[in-house]
Each structure stands twice: as C-alpha cells, then as structure tokens.
Amino acid sequence: MVPERFIRFRARTVLSVLGIVLAVAAFIEIVVLARHVLVWIFVALFLALALNPAVNWLQRHGVPRRSLAAAITFLGALAAIAGIGALFIPTLVDQVNSFVDALPGYVEDITEGRGPLGFLETDYQVVEKVRAAVEDGGATKVLGLSGTALAVTKGVITLIVATITIAFMTFFMLLEGPAWMERFYSLIPAQSQARWRRVGHDIYRTVGGYVAGNLLISLIAGITSSIVLLVMGVPYAIALGLIVAILDLIPLAGAVIATVVISGVAFLDSVTAGVVVLIFFLIYQQVENHFLFPIVYSRTVQLSPLAVLIAVLIGAELAGILGALAAIPVAGTIQVILLDWLGHRRPRPVVEPPPVEQAAET
C-alpha cells in the first residue's frame, strides 16, 4: 500500500498568494472604474508623441528652453486645428443641415417604396414594422427617447471636459516628459542606466514614429477621399472624408470599414459614383498597404505583416477600436524589450587573441 503524502503550505505562503490575487483583482477593478480617464491619458500620450519631434526640432534650431519650444509647438498645433476647422466646419455644418432638410424626402421615398431607399419598404416592409412597434410600445420605445435628452447633455459635457483635459495633459507631457524619464532612469542602478536609456530611446523611436506616420497616412486618406467624393458629386463629401480619416487610424480593419461605408453611401447617390468610389478605395488600399504602411512600419516598429495582424486582432478583442489603435505600438515596445533581454541572456562569444608569431631565426 502506497503511503499517503501530505503537502503542507506555510501560512506566509498562503497569505502571499492571497495578497497577490487580491492585488490583481483590485488593479482590474481600478482599471475598469477609471477606464475613461485611462483613455484620456492614452490619447494625450498619443498626441504628445506625435508633437514631440517638433519640440526637439525647435530646440535643435535655436529655441533655448524646452518650455518655450513646447509652447510654440502646442500653440502651432492648436492654430493648425483651428485653421482646418475654419475651412471644413462651415462646409460640414452646411452638409449636415442639407441632410436634415432632405430627411423628410427620404422618409417619403421609403414610405412610397421609391428612390434609392425604396427597397427598404418594398422588400422589408420597414414602414409597417415601425407602425406596429409604435402602436405596441409607443415612440419612446421605438426611438429610445427615454432619458435621451439627459444622455445627450451628459455626453456633450463629458466631451468638452475630455477635450480640455486631454489638451492640458498633452501640453504637460510635452513639457515634463524628459524630466519624468530622467527620474525613472535615476531609480535604476548606475551600471544598468546606459542599457535602459538605449531601450527607452528605441521604444520612443518605435512608438513616436508609428504615431506620426499613422496620423500622416490617415490625413492623406481623408484628403484624397474627400477630393474623389467632391469630383463625383457625392453629397456630404467633407463629412465622409473626415470619417475615412478617423477610420483609417485603425490599422488594417479601418480601411475596409471605410470602403464599405463610403462606397455604400456613394451607391445611394448614383451607381456611377458608387462604382468610381469603390474602385478608388480598392486602388488606394493597395497603395496604402504596399507603399505607405511598409515605409512607416519598416522604419519604426519593424514588425512583420503577420505580427501586425495578430497584434491588431488581439488589441481589438481586448479593448475595441482603442485596443486596435494601440496594438502595434505595444507590440513594437514588447519586441524592443524582448530583443534586449535575449541579447543580454545569450552568452557572448569568447574572442581568443591571435597567436603570437615566433620571430624568424636569424
């Protein structure tokens, strides 16, 4: 008979494991509760990394203090945003008003089963279903009007607070970023500081280059899309171009979503416009995937297309659009740290001194 074996755990071990579990649970709870603030911090960091090269450039070209260079860069970015807004917002507002004015006509076309949206009534009987739902639960149930005014007001206030907070955090990150990094490096033993400064520089180059490149690619996508939509006479071209620029920030999936949405809107206007817009997006995606993206990724994150796809899918599953947006910089950061760790764990080859040649006998 095999004797029974008893495994005893010391009270200190049990308490340590329990403490770790509670700490992890508390951390997850804090992240869930503060997720909106964490999103604001991430967006501010994203913007600060995009603007920091301009701050460094100003310091290299005669601006003596970082505070002055950060202020000039920040005010310049605000002026650029204001200029773009002055150009596009009036057109955007006019197009939104035109859409609101045209909305009753769209509703009438749907009701009578005619026009580009008439198939919703002829094929799916949308009007009858809406009427039945109204009679069953009222307009409040159909349109979700319960608490809508309060929700909209709360959303507007949150957006204003978020915008102001992100702007201030971005400026202070630009101003104090190097000082914070120096404090971090000072906590590391002196013999390891050179190594971690090199790792930090590689991470900054990876993340900062990706952020700046991704913003540039999205800007190109939005401008070219707006031009094509304007040429084809598609309504709300500026607004649709802005949607393309925002969606294009999402690696891989964003361009596909933009193609489906914008092409669908163009087909509603006319078949010709829909075909031209669809062909444009298919060609532009090839240019973006095979020319623009390789330039950005090969010079910054240095990730293979498969690694990019896996990182984006995991990020999207964990945190939605924000996770997909952050996936590639995070993957690039992990790659930098992993390569440094492997480089220090591998045994260094021993270089033997060359044999001393014996002097020729004289």
**Each residue's pLDDT tens digit in the chain (362 positions)?**
566 666 666 777 778 888 888 888 888 888 777 778 888 888 888 888 878 888 888 998 888 888 899 999 999 988 888 877 776 677 667 766 776 676 667 667 667 666 666 666 666 666 666 666 655 655 455 444 455 566 667 777 888 888 889 889 999 988 888 888 888 888 888 888 888 888 888 888 888 778 778 888 888 999 999 899 999 988 878 878 888 888 888 776 778 888 888 888 888 778 888 899 999 999 998 888 777 777 777 666 777 777 777 887 888 787 777 777 778 888 888 888 888 888 877 665 555 555 655 544 44
Does residue 226 lie in a domain region?
yes
Contact by Cβ (8 Å): 296, 329: no
Does residue 302 lie in a domain region?
yes
- Residue 167's contacts (CB-CB under 8 Å, 6 or more residues apart) are 78
- The model's pTM is 0.64
Does residue 287 lie in a domain region?
yes
Does residue 310 lie in a domain region?
yes
Does residue 58 lie in a domain region?
no
Contact by Cβ (8 Å): 183, 196: no
Q: How many domains does the chain have?
A: 1
Per-residue model confidence (pLDDT) at position 280: 93
Does residue 207 lie in a domain region?
yes
Per-residue model confidence (pLDDT) at position 283: 92
Contact by Cβ (8 Å): 241, 204: no
Q: Over the range 243-263, which residues count as b (16 or more CB within 10 Å of their CB) and which as e?
A: bbbebbbbbbebbeebbeebb
Does residue 212 lie in a domain region?
yes
Does residue 106 lie in a domain region?
no
Per-residue model confidence (pLDDT) at position 345: 75
Contact by Cβ (8 Å): 100, 74: no
| Strand ranges (E), 27-126 | none
Domain range spanning residue 219? 194-344
